[in-house]
Structure 1
Amino acid sequence: MRTYIADTETLDDGKEVTLQGWIQELRKIKNLMFIIVRDSTGQIQVTVKKGSITNYDELYEITRESVISVHGILNKKSVSRSGTEILATGVEILSIADTPLPLGVIDRVSADFDTRLNNRFLDLRKPEHLVIFKFESQLLFGIREYMNRENFIEVHTPKIVGAATEGGADLFRVEYFEKQAYLNQSPQLYKEILIGSGFDKVFEVGPAFRAEKENTVRHLNEFTSIDMEAAFIDDRKAMEYLERAISYAVNRTIDVMGAELERSGYHVSRLDPPFPRITYEEALGYLNDHGLKLSFGDDFSPEANKILAQKFNGFYFITGWPSAMRPFYTHPDTNPEITKSFDLQLNDIEVTSGAQRVHNYRMLEENFMKKGLNKNDFEFYEKAFKYGMPPHAGWGLGLERLVMNLLGLNNVRESTLFPRDRTRLSP
């Protein structure tokens, strides 16, 4: 039975254990070897004496990052740095690593980002990188747990579609037998159809695709989107669901792995909703007071977002975006030039976009014309609005961007297992 390295802390001195993992370091004396073995939970020293195992000479020539299985006795009176070691009674070599390694795992010499991504299988062996995805997994589990507690149904909508979700040219075209199809930008249209089907509350976790040519530290062409839609709510209730879901997930993750995060150098603070709110027009005025020259309808540049981040320092909502800047399905406010929409910012980066949606069929048709869209391309969607569509609202949250910001990473590719961007299609 395999024992994980972290579990040795709770075992008694003298316990027989079997560990399996990678050789991280190897120090050899003629009749003695000290091997640092690493698995996904930690690392430990294995002491091997000549004569204690039958294949000592073979093991003596082993390379770093080779995979072994160690059977031995737990010694908690060790003089090793950790105060614990395994006295080996048997070692099985499972896989020998070639040399030289294309990327160091514990070496102090840093590698450029492309080298890291080209050798991602080695890059992810670094404990400080592995913990990013442990955090991401726990965070996603917490969001799912919150949504389930709020009686949301998890759904899975098509990723190959016949029409753009938001119009425009940011689409990946694919051949679909004799037809032209696209990779879906978001599950938005299908979420709304489900609301018209009486599902009441839905959420989805899945890939989304944007053919944007930006190659910045915050852009990906394939990312994980967490989407929510609910009937009989407005934009304010959607924001409440969002801030509560994130706060619940972050606080739960800190409870589960806070010590591990701190050991790895990541500092994540507990959250207490509600998050601050500022309207688009208020933000515009604030930015112009700080030397920018922006007009109504202008988007906020990275410089503008940095100025706003200095004011709020954490999560905050920007609400009431201009109609011209929002998709056709966004519901107007009392002033038709403004929408019942919001972005959730974390410091200087947008992590979520959401809104109350149009539910009136006539208004939807008018919006198609205003945005220059052919309503025939959306027949499958607008049909659901002809036969009783309740008011509804929702949002879409980028998981990798959220993790990037929470952990203070420099690049969204750090929080993506195998990034897909403007230039990268492998591994």
Structure 2
Amino acid sequence: MIDRIHTSAVDPEMDEVAVAGHVHEIRDLGGLVFVIVRDREGLVQVVFKQEREPELFEAVESAGSEDVVRVVGEPVASDQAPGGVEIAPTDYEVLDTADSPLPLEISKDVTVDLSTRLDNRALDLRKPETLAVFSLRSTLMTAMESWFDEEGFVDIKTPLISKGGAEGGAELFPILYYDRDAFLSQSPQLYKQILMAAGYEAVYETGTAFRAEDFATSRHVSEIAMFDVELAYIDDHHDVMDVQEESLRHALRVAADTASRELELLDVDLTVPEADFPRITFDEALSILETEFGHFPEDPTDLDTEGEKLLGEHFAEQGHPAFFVVGYPDEKFYYMQDVDGDEIASRKFDLIYEGQELSSGGQREHDVDRMVAAMEAEGVEQANFEFYIEALSYGTPPHGGYGLGIDRLVQQAAGLDNIKEAIMFPRDPTRLEP
């Protein structure tokens, strides 16, 4: 490994340091050249003086933006330098040079459209603000996974190739699997439920799902990062919501406490929901939209994007950045619905955070006879789900779960306009590279 420390660790109390990174900025003032070196953790200023180090000064005069360099020198306190410290160099080495001109500006705050940024993603990912998005993402997911590990959930991995989809329809990506037709996974849900029948009791998965939707929105992509959870021996859907609420609050709190540099770069005041998340019925949600905003979703069985945003405003005014909507009508066969004694149509819920749906979940139907009847009512081809029906036929405990969109969580937490900004290399109907 090349001998170096990160820029964030440079301390004026040290006798000598070595740093390496990209040349972020160069300022040539005649006999004085300031070079800002950037690595993953920040920036450090290196000051080359012609009178003090003539050979190094001559070498640095040919430096270009985004060259990769290594600098050795004495750290010196400086109020004018990033982080309050600069380096007086004793050695300077160019590890690689960058082509010029750059197709995308890294150091200057220049507005560039998202398409251009994604076309030049390798450079865009170098920007400190972009790097902050993915550092924040890592913090959120590490905290989330840690919570589930500590609670005794089993980390699982389910197939990305399947015979059918949990939801079916035109949203499936067909592939050729040897000599048979198959599909990319829409969701690991059916496999999570099989594991509940198998006695695993509580599982989670950080994985990928695919949706073949033809869209042009700021909140959809074709390849989705998902955090999926399933737990057994529940009383009802509220047990599932409890798990989601506690785990999300924990992840957001950890990020707020430990990712201050990233949040500052993104100019975000991360909202951590401290109070219990409100839980309203679907009918109550429609009533709020009608009475307070005069808004009527086009589909009377679901909330639209505008409805979620308006409900987010409603609850934000009451100090609640996150809330649940429970009891959607006309749900899929795998949700418990039309249960005697329930005042809601189904035990399916959505979690909305900062005005956008982050997850869907609920209590599943574990009685195979009722599930098959629901399949027949929906016109579902049972032949595609024989493995699933059979697995649940040999005794399945009451269970439920949810799938949380990681990309949407990062989008909301980082205050991004478009979900593609939350994904290193996003895929949509028109983008298959880089």
User: Shorter-chain TM-score: what band?
Assistant: over 0.9
- The aligned length equals 423
In the alignment, what sits opposite 1:307?
Answer: 310
Alpha carbons 1:166, 1:328 under 8 Å: kept: no
Q: 8 Å contact 1:78–1:85 — kept in the other structure? A: no
Give the secondary-structure state (helix, strand or coil) at the position aligned to 2:427: coil
Aligned-pair Cα RMSD in Å = 1.9
User: Sequence identity of aligned pairs in percent?
Assistant: 37
Q: Aligned pair in 2 of structure 1 residues 78, 338: CA closer, same or farther (>3 Å)?
A: closer
Q: Structure 1 stretch 217-226 or stretch 21-30: which is displaced more?
A: 21-30
| Distance across 1 between alignment mates of 2:164 and 2:334 | 14
- 1:275-290 alignment to 2 at 5 Å? 275-289=277-291, 290=293
- Contact conserved, 2:133 with 2:262, CA < 8 A, in 1? no
Map of 1:389 onto structure 2: 396
Q: How does 1:7-156 map to 2 (within 5 A)?
A: 7-8=9-10, 11-13=11-13, 15-50=15-50, 52=53, 54=55, 56-77=57-78, 80=81, 82-156=83-157
Q: Which residue of 1 aligns with 2:370?
A: 363
CA contact 2:352–2:359 (8 Å) conserved in 1? yes
With structure 1 as the length reference, what TM-score do the two structures score?
0.94
- Give CA-to-partner distance per residue, 1:303-341, whole Å, 9 cap, x none: 32232122112111000110x1x2210111335981111
Does 2:332 match 1:331? no
Residues in 1 aligned to 2:362 and 2:226: alpha-carbon distance in whole angstroms: 16
State the Cα deviation string for residues 81-118 of structure 1 (Å, max 9, x = none). 65421111111101111111000012232111111001
Gap change, CA 1:208 and 1:28, over 3 Å in 2: same
- Tell me the equivalent position of 1:241: 243
Give the deviation of 1:300 after TM superposition: 2.0
Distance 1:261 1:317 in 2: 26
Q: Show the counterpart of 1:204.
A: 205
Q: 1:229 to 1:53 in 2, by over 3 A?
A: farther
C-alpha spacing 1:143/1:343, structure 2 compared with 1 (3 Å) = same
Paired with 1:88 and 1:310, the residues of 2 have a C-alpha distance of 53
In structure 1, give the amino acid aligned to 2:283: E
Secondary structure of the residue that 2:394 maps to in structure 1? coil
- Among 337, 343, 357, the residue aligned to 1:350: 357
CA deviation string 1:353-374 (max 9, x = no partner): 0010010111111121112111
How much does 1:139 deviate? 0.5
Report the more deviating stretch, 417-426 or 327-336: 327-336
Shift of 1:170: 0.4
Give, in whole Å, the separation in 1 of the partners of 2:82 and 2:232. 58
Give the TM-score normalised by the residue count of structure 2: 0.93
Q: Please show how residues 173-252 of structure 1 align to structure 2 within 5 Å.
A: 173-233=174-234, 234-252=236-254
Alignment partner of 1:384: what SS?
helix
Q: Distance in 2 between matches of 1:253 and 1:291?
A: 37
Match of 1:400 among 403, 407, 410: 407
Q: How much has 1:167 moved relative to structure 2?
A: 1.9
What's the counterpart of residue 321 of structure 1?
328
**1:126-176 Cα distance to aligned partner (Å, 9 max, x none):** 111111111110100111111111110000000011111112210001111
Kept after mapping to 2: 8 A contact 1:251/1:270: yes
Counterpart of 1:298 in structure 2: which amino acid?
T
